[in-house]
Structure 1
Amino acid sequence: MTPETETTVPRNLEVLVTSVATDLMAVTAATSAQVSERVLGDLVTYFDVDVSFLRHHDHRIHASELVAEWPPRPDSAGPDPLKIVYFADSDSVFAETERLCEPTILRSEAVARPGSATVAEVPLRSGDVTTGVLGFVKFGEREWLGKELNALKAIASLFAQVQARIAAEERLRYLADHDDLTGLYNRRALLGHLDSRLAAGRPGPVAVLFFDLDRLKAINDYLGHVAGDWFIRILAERLQEGDEERFVARLGGDEFVVVPSIPMTTDAAETLAHRLQSVLRERVSIDGEMLTRTISIGVAVGTPGHDTTSDLLSRADQAVLSAKNAGGNSISVFSDRMSQEIALRNDIELHLQNVIDGGALVLHYLPEVDIRTGDILATEALVRWQHPTRGLLSPDRFIGVAESINLAGELGRWVLRNACAEFARWRSTGVGAQIVLRVNVSPVQLVTEGFVDSVAEAMAEFGLERGSVCLEITESVVVQDIDTTRVTLAGLKEAGVQVAIDDFGTGYSVLSLLKTLPVDTLKIDKSFVQDLGTNAGDLAIVRAIIALAEAFRLELVAEGVETDIAVRTLLHHGCHRAQGFLLSRPVPGPEMERLLAEGRVPVHFP
């Protein structure tokens, strides 16, 4: 090279590096290969070489991937043998590029090519790590100047920066669409996937399987959250196993969604759900423990162009909720009945507060009768909702929703005050003086601070004497928080309020507590009364409860009396108080007042 050429090289190299920097500045993951190929073409021309290539290293698998080359080789019918090259399978010279730190010049004997060739290899570096290699091949001899190699180092550094930036962007994009714990897709990716699958014109039906792990908390509490996370990862891996392609997402916690890639009918989706449920129930070894959990699965199917992502996921969610409510470890398929339940629940949730405040609630009353004489001994206040389009709704249609949206306490206070007010009005007209008013109490009310005082204030406000009001609590509520329950019941007893245990016999944990709780009445659950006289097992339970009430000197009431044989059986075994449709259905306040004025209901049992 002449002195004149020597003096022009630095200036031209600076322009070259600046030009490459400009070209690479706006590169994205989508344009990286195309722009890199164009830059390599410019470098081949500038340095008067025959071939240039850019490769990225993956140190996790000890391999090098071809990113761009110039001139491009024609596409082959099969896989490109140079696309991915494992260092362990390559020649020793190329293998050294895995951790190459400085530019290296190789001659023909070093690269084992026929004829004369010169190869320049320049590492891409990120900190102390070699992330790739920029290579140039000249068929024949070529001397590389130090200044040229310095320029190539600068260009390699630019390529390394692009590589790092794209890797960071891809990582952010990955994190935006994937769950950090399991590597599965996340909710955002699921919504996008379903939006695409449900677009008009796409093949359908589109099936969604919603998985909810039953009682993961037991693992977290027993072995810790690390073990729980490990358990979740294994389930995630199992959901991806199998020959069928499927989109698997984790929504968080112990909830997963599987969307089969092919159109699938409801029956086929249910079959798949059963198969996956069996796989997920297989035991997992964690810290020497063989663990397993049951799985609840909800299945729903949508039609492209008709159903939305929100609709389909809501159906699958409702289906898995139905499976959970059935005790878990089951598969539930969305149905029209569930759709009606969702509509009703949404209606109730949106309007219940206004209903409590606005007067759409009414009270009906169920008489409690001495089945020997027909005399009315008590009446149970039952709340109803006079819905403008759905008619009269019974409490089992909206009490559960009230509890879920924290309105159970407010609803209970409305029932207590209005029942006391109507009861007091009856008594002021001279009817019902000898009967007891029974009012159901929710679990929320029982543990609410100031509950006893609010009951006492209501009785005082409406002039109801001690012993005229009885609060009914379910057997399961008694043992939920026994210490608080015991204090509350003692306070009610001191205020002159009777206490009855409703639905008695459905559990056993309260039996040992009866002798220490201030209870006045047991009400036999209707499930043991409805078939009384034809079911020997029910009779055995009822006789045991009768003996228990006698031993503790408690009043006893049979609920759900609907047949003559049930009445005769109860009378024969010593239970005289009952309520049920055979005696009277729940009636509005004015009708209850009329019955109280008569004092009895007609009873004619053969």
Structure 2
Amino acid sequence: MADDATLNSLVTAAAAELMAATAANSAAISQRVLTLLVEALGQDFGFLRHNDHKIGATVLIAEFPPRNADPDPIGVVYFGDADSVFAAAEHLKEPAVMRPDRDHADYQRTIVQGTGVPSVSIATVPLLSGEVTTGVLAFGKYGDREWFAEELEALQTIATLFAQLQARIVADQQLRWLAEHDDMTGLLNRRTLIAQLDQRLAPGMPGPVSVVFFDVDRLEAINDVFGQDAGNRFILTFATVLREAADFPAAIARFGGDEFAVLPHAPMDAQSIFTLALGIHRQLQTQVRSRSYLFARTVSVGVATGVPGEDNASVLLSRLDLATQSAKKAGGARVVAFSPQMAMKKAIRNEVELRLEEPDASNDLVLHYLPEVDMRTGAVVGTEALMRWRHPSLGLLMPDAFIDVAESTILAEKLGRLVVRAACAQVAQWRDQGLADNPTLRINVSAMELVDEGVVERVAATLDEFGIQPSTLCLEITERVVIADIETTQKTLNAFKDIGVQIAIDDFGTGYSAFEYLTSLPIDALKIDRGFIRDLKRDPKRLAVVRSILGLADAFGLDAVAEGVETVDDAKALLELGCRRAQGFLFSRPLSGMQMGALFAQRFVGVEFLRD
């Protein structure tokens, strides 16, 4: 028997080691403490095992002397198949000692002959967490060995320390799991995915590193109609389907809200990841039932790759965002791979936004004018003011490079006011120079301008200031602008009509409620979108659309203007359908104010080629 001093020193030494242990070094410290105990107690072997009650097994944590078996046949022992020693460990609550029976014939033969498996004396001490047995600490000696109460009491104290370490490790693992995973779906979370991306993109790591990003289209519609619980059920179902679809080694994460990402463990080039993304996308047909209604959402998918040592997580995520947004802008339910052009366009938008916020940004505004022609005679009957913006470093920018940026800031209304004022000043100059007498002036109006308080009064004041008849001004709005705020738009347009300003629907036919606009809004003209004009004679479907639009215009007593006329055949086809007025490069490209004035003075453009 070990004396009291030895037992006290063992408990003290074990406590010092185990109380300072962490999840990272617990295996090494457990092995060290077990070795100390086996040697100090004069045992032949010892082991520490933890119980996994979820799978019904005992798992080896440390042993001495180590057997170095790979795989270890007793690394995991299921209680249902275990021998008496291991089976007893499942619910052991008090220390147990197993000693050989000296009167048993096998014991006597072993001692006398030195053959067979030696009988063993084993002391087993439970690790307890409340009423649950979480593991065992055991020591054995070949032959007989009597265990005393003081020794078992010391081992129980040490077992308690092992149990406390085990509980700390479990708690630490749970906290780490919660910190690394999304609590709703159990997938990895945003922070963990970013950390993995940074590791994968470190210099020297294999690449390329590729990611597929998923953004559920219009999930908010489910939340609005069926409530947040229905939306959550959809997210859970989607996460399950995504796990099944991504059936290869990969990190799968819920990036936030309705966004998910898949990071394959293996390096993949751009073509391979795009092909893989297409395959996953085809499988993401997610449906959820709520209140006897079955609903489904499509998914916009972005794909991007990064090179270790050259890119980082932030760069790769920015590429993914650009690709996914491109998929959404294209209507959703598709896969889009990142391209350098996307990054270039984003850089331009960022620079434009910074420039727009500068006090003197309005000085860079430039207006060009696109003539409107009567195709029967070639008469120049009007012009459309086209906004351009001269950027200090990027040069002359078209509206699609800056209008969206302006509308996302407070400058959209300001730019609108500047365009109306500059265009009216130009018309007054043409009039005063005797170049044009009250020509039709068309100006595009954004959604932000139509909901701007006082816009009608400001336009009226500008027309009065420059002595321009309100009936010569035609404000052009797209169907997208109308649906942005139909009620306010209707009030504003009626107010414009009250002061005599004309209204036209631009890009007519590209929206979804065209007929409704004709009956509910004070419209004077329809502008046929250029997409319907191209190859008009050779495309029966486009021909039918244009014929229908012209029929609507005639039925409602509206003017019709064709946009984007570029070929003689298209112009002739329009004339045959009864469309007289048009714009397009066939007649003229956009002109400066001086050039447009000269064209007004000329009064006509040549259209002899249309009479052949």
Tell whether the structures are fold-level matches, with TM greater than 0.5.
yes
The 3 A distance-change label for structure 1 pair 107 and 320 is: same
Residue of 73, 78, 82 corresponding to 2:66: 73
Counterpart of 2:128, as a letter, is R
Taking the aligned partners of 1:371 and 1:515, their CA distance within structure 2 comes to: 29
Alignment partner of 1:133 is 2:136: yes
Residue of 568, 571, 575 corresponding to 2:575: 571
1:466-485 to structure 2, matched below 5 A, reads 466-485=470-489
Taking the aligned partners of 1:572 and 1:202, their CA distance within structure 2 comes to: 66
Residue of 388, 398, 401 corresponding to 1:397: 401
Residue 551 of structure 1 deviates from its aligned partner by: 2.0
The 3 A distance-change label for structure 1 pair 594 and 295 is: same
Residue 116 of structure 1 deviates from its aligned partner by: 4.5
Alignment partner of 1:211 is 2:211: no
Alignment partner of 1:554 is 2:558: yes
Partner of 1:24: 18
* Segment drifting more, 281-290 vs 173-182: 281-290
Alignment partner of 1:499 is 2:503: yes
Counterpart of 1:237, as a letter, is R
Taking the aligned partners of 1:328 and 1:118, their CA distance within structure 2 comes to: 71
**Partner-residue secondary structure (3-state), 2:358:** helix
1:318-397 to structure 2, matched below 5 A, reads 318-354=322-358, 357-397=361-401
Asked if the contact 1:377–1:434 (Cα under 8 Å) also holds between the matched residues in 2, the reply is no
Residue 431 of structure 1 deviates from its aligned partner by: 4.6
Partner of 1:267: 271
Taking the aligned partners of 1:511 and 1:367, their CA distance within structure 2 comes to: 28
Asked if the contact 1:525–1:558 (Cα under 8 Å) also holds between the matched residues in 2, the reply is yes
**Partner-residue secondary structure (3-state), 1:82:** coil
Taking the aligned partners of 2:421 and 2:51, their CA distance within structure 1 comes to: 76
Taking the aligned partners of 1:352 and 1:305, their CA distance within structure 2 comes to: 35
1:485-524 to structure 2, matched below 5 A, reads 485-524=489-528
Residue 440 of structure 1 deviates from its aligned partner by: 0.8
Counterpart of 1:487, as a letter, is K
**Partner-residue secondary structure (3-state), 2:243:** helix
Structure 2: which 5+ runs fail to align?
A: 108-116
Partner of 2:79: 87
Partner of 1:193: 196
Residue of 219, 235, 242 corresponding to 2:241: 235
Asked if the contact 1:119–1:137 (Cα under 8 Å) also holds between the matched residues in 2, the reply is yes
Partner of 1:416: 420
Alignment partner of 1:585 is 2:589: yes
**Partner-residue secondary structure (3-state), 2:90:** helix
Partner of 1:280: 284
Partner of 1:61: 55
Alignment partner of 1:47 is 2:41: yes
Residue of 93, 96, 99 corresponding to 2:91: 99
- Equivalent pairs counted in the alignment come to 594
**Partner-residue secondary structure (3-state), 2:236:** helix
Alignment partner of 1:525 is 2:529: yes
Residue of 159, 163, 172 corresponding to 2:162: 159
Counterpart of 1:166, as a letter, is I
Instruction: After superposition, give the CA deviation of every residue in 1:408-434 in whole Å (9 maximum; x if it has no partner).
Output: 444333323333343344445455442
Residue of 18, 38, 63 corresponding to 2:32: 38
Instruction: After superposition, give the CA deviation of every residue in 1:350-375 in whole Å (9 maximum; x if it has no partner).
Output: 43333972522211111222233333
Structure 1: which 5+ runs fail to align?
A: none
Residue 575 of structure 1 deviates from its aligned partner by: 2.7
* Segment drifting more, 478-487 vs 498-507: 478-487
The 3 A distance-change label for structure 1 pair 64 and 476 is: same
Taking the aligned partners of 2:53 and 2:432, their CA distance within structure 1 comes to: 90
Taking the aligned partners of 1:435 and 1:491, their CA distance within structure 2 comes to: 22
* Segment drifting more, 432-441 vs 447-456: 447-456
Taking the aligned partners of 2:193 and 2:167, their CA distance within structure 1 comes to: 28
Taking the aligned partners of 2:292 and 2:167, their CA distance within structure 1 comes to: 41
Counterpart of 2:231, as a letter, is H
Residue 453 of structure 1 deviates from its aligned partner by: 4.0
Asked if the contact 2:184–2:236 (Cα under 8 Å) also holds between the matched residues in 1, the reply is no
* Segment drifting more, 417-426 vs 366-375: 417-426
Instruction: After superposition, give the CA deviation of every residue in 1:6-35 in whole Å (9 maximum; x if it has no partner).
Output: xx72x6544433332211232122211111
Instruction: After superposition, give the CA deviation of every residue in 1:266-301 in whole Å (9 maximum; x if it has no partner).
Output: 332233223222333477789987765444333333
Asked if the contact 1:181–1:233 (Cα under 8 Å) also holds between the matched residues in 2, the reply is no
Relative to the length of structure 2, the TM-score reads 0.86
Taking the aligned partners of 2:348 and 2:238, their CA distance within structure 1 comes to: 34
**Partner-residue secondary structure (3-state), 2:470:** coil
Taking the aligned partners of 2:482 and 2:517, their CA distance within structure 1 comes to: 9
Residue 219 of structure 1 deviates from its aligned partner by: 4.9
Asked if the contact 1:219–1:227 (Cα under 8 Å) also holds between the matched residues in 2, the reply is no
* Segment drifting more, 295-304 vs 377-386: 295-304
Residue 511 of structure 1 deviates from its aligned partner by: 0.5
Taking the aligned partners of 1:203 and 1:552, their CA distance within structure 2 comes to: 66
Taking the aligned partners of 2:461 and 2:100, their CA distance within structure 1 comes to: 103
**Partner-residue secondary structure (3-state), 1:532:** coil
Partner of 2:252: 248
1:525-544 to structure 2, matched below 5 A, reads 525-544=529-548
Counterpart of 1:103, as a letter, is P
Counterpart of 1:532, as a letter, is L
Taking the aligned partners of 2:374 and 2:197, their CA distance within structure 1 comes to: 62
Instruction: After superposition, give the CA deviation of every residue in 1:450-493 in whole Å (9 maximum; x if it has no partner).
Output: 44344344445545443232211112332343323222222222
Partner of 1:224: 230
Asked if the contact 2:187–2:254 (Cα under 8 Å) also holds between the matched residues in 1, the reply is yes
Partner of 1:440: 444
The 3 A distance-change label for structure 1 pair 270 and 571 is: closer
Instruction: After superposition, give the CA deviation of every residue in 1:553-574 in whole Å (9 maximum; x if it has no partner).
Output: 2222222222333333333443
The 3 A distance-change label for structure 1 pair 167 and 501 is: same
**Partner-residue secondary structure (3-state), 2:378:** coil
The 3 A distance-change label for structure 1 pair 402 and 125 is: farther
Alignment partner of 1:183 is 2:186: yes
Taking the aligned partners of 2:403 and 2:264, their CA distance within structure 1 comes to: 38
Residue 92 of structure 1 deviates from its aligned partner by: 5.0
Taking the aligned partners of 1:411 and 1:57, their CA distance within structure 2 comes to: 72
Residue 160 of structure 1 deviates from its aligned partner by: 1.9
The 3 A distance-change label for structure 1 pair 105 and 535 is: same
Asked if the contact 1:208–1:260 (Cα under 8 Å) also holds between the matched residues in 2, the reply is yes
Residue 345 of structure 1 deviates from its aligned partner by: 3.3
The 3 A distance-change label for structure 1 pair 516 and 278 is: closer
Counterpart of 1:191, as a letter, is I
**Partner-residue secondary structure (3-state), 1:471:** strand
Residue 315 of structure 1 deviates from its aligned partner by: 2.9
**Partner-residue secondary structure (3-state), 1:318:** helix
Asked if the contact 1:28–1:166 (Cα under 8 Å) also holds between the matched residues in 2, the reply is yes
Counterpart of 1:73, as a letter, is P
Asked if the contact 1:355–1:361 (Cα under 8 Å) also holds between the matched residues in 2, the reply is no
**Partner-residue secondary structure (3-state), 1:99:** coil
Taking the aligned partners of 1:594 and 1:238, their CA distance within structure 2 comes to: 68
Asked if the contact 1:232–1:254 (Cα under 8 Å) also holds between the matched residues in 2, the reply is no
Counterpart of 1:72, as a letter, is P
Residue 38 of structure 1 deviates from its aligned partner by: 1.3
Taking the aligned partners of 1:569 and 1:115, their CA distance within structure 2 comes to: 106
The 3 A distance-change label for structure 1 pair 30 and 525 is: same
The 3 A distance-change label for structure 1 pair 29 and 564 is: same
